[in-house]
Structure 1
């Protein structure tokens, strides 16, 4: 074997090694605690929130243009102990207005009705609207708004979060050219 052939083979091996080292270094730049794959991703339109082993998933309101709607979502108990969903109520907004941001005169324009406490068995989920019984109704919240609600549990800490109000056909309103609202 000639020196030229050995020299070319050495260069190829060195180039391949450098390529592997460089690709590993470049890939490591995207790793660590700030890596995009470690960031939460919520592909749904609703809101997700957690309190200990209790998780609220895809919580939203589907409402008519007149402001009559139903609360939708799931509450998951991933813990080992049973819990209870004891209340769902409109929460004051962070700016002191009511939960729909319509004014803080002490009277809330948005109301939640037909709520019945629900058992949250360990390792199960509870869906809204419930499979049996009346749905939890929301009045006064119109599509395009965000409302703040507080969910209270028997064991877990309360969850206060903002949830979107969507049209009954699951689409948020989008503006038209003439300034009137249309469904997208």
Structure 2
């Protein structure tokens, strides 16, 4: 065997493992696997989807739910349970079909309990009508600057606004043809 052939054979033997190692990943390579880069948990099936759901520990024995909810059809959530302990919401959460609703800044779901403390995982179940229950295990995180927009307790303005909307009298309809419905002049 010539020196050139020997050198070529050694070079091929040394580079072959590197060249062929990429072939072993096949179609199941980790780059094709789903992963969750966010801190919160996701539930992507059922009557109500939960996106980046988590509780923020308020440091006073309470925690506020933060996340986004999505449903295929209109849903109403009047209560939730956290690790089996049911809690009726101060006002129902209305989900419109195919519309993402972000919870947290208004403090829609605030729970109290020793099990809802920083570092724990708890199971929250949403009782949705007409769809049924949707449950997901979510982490409880500490209140940091990242979560400063999450309310520590229900927002009084949101509660007052909901009460106002429920008790506001309907505007009387007028039968008068005196109304000017023409576009404003420029």
RMSD: 3.2
Hey, what does 1:164 align to over in structure 2?
139
Could you say if the C-alpha distance between residues 130 and 122 of structure 1 is closer, same or farther in structure 2, counting changes exceeding 3 Å?
farther
Report if aligned partners of 1:151, 1:160 keep a CA contact under 8 Å in 2: yes
Could you say if the C-alpha distance between residues 170 and 146 of structure 1 is closer, same or farther in structure 2, counting changes exceeding 3 Å?
farther
1:39 and 2:33 are equivalent in the alignment: yes
Hey, what does 1:99 align to over in structure 2?
none
1:61 and 2:55 are equivalent in the alignment: yes
CA drift of 1:36 comes to 1.9
Aligned counterpart for 2:91 among listed residues 116, 134, 138: 116
Q: Deviations over 1:13-72 (max 9, x none)?
A: xxxxxx9xx97x86664343x332332211111111133363201111111333222111
Hey, what does 1:12 align to over in structure 2?
none
Aligned length: 130
CA drift of 1:163 comes to 1.2
Q: How far apart, CA to CA, are the structure 2 residues paired with 1:127 and 1:38? A: 29
1:137 and 2:131 are equivalent in the alignment: no
Stretches of structure 1 lacking an aligned partner (at least 5 in a row): 1-18, 93-107, 172-184
SS in 2 for 1:30: helix
Within 5 A, what are the aligned runs for 1:38-117? 38-52=32-46, 54-77=48-71, 79=72, 81-92=73-84, 112=87, 114-117=89-92
TM-score by length of 2: 0.55
Stretches of structure 2 lacking an aligned partner (at least 5 in a row): 1-15, 147-186
TM-score by length of 1: 0.56
Could you say if the C-alpha distance between residues 53 and 160 of structure 1 is closer, same or farther in structure 2, counting changes exceeding 3 Å?
closer
Could you say if the C-alpha distance between residues 117 and 27 of structure 1 is closer, same or farther in structure 2, counting changes exceeding 3 Å?
farther
SS in 2 for 1:51: coil
Could you say if the C-alpha distance between residues 136 and 46 of structure 1 is closer, same or farther in structure 2, counting changes exceeding 3 Å?
same
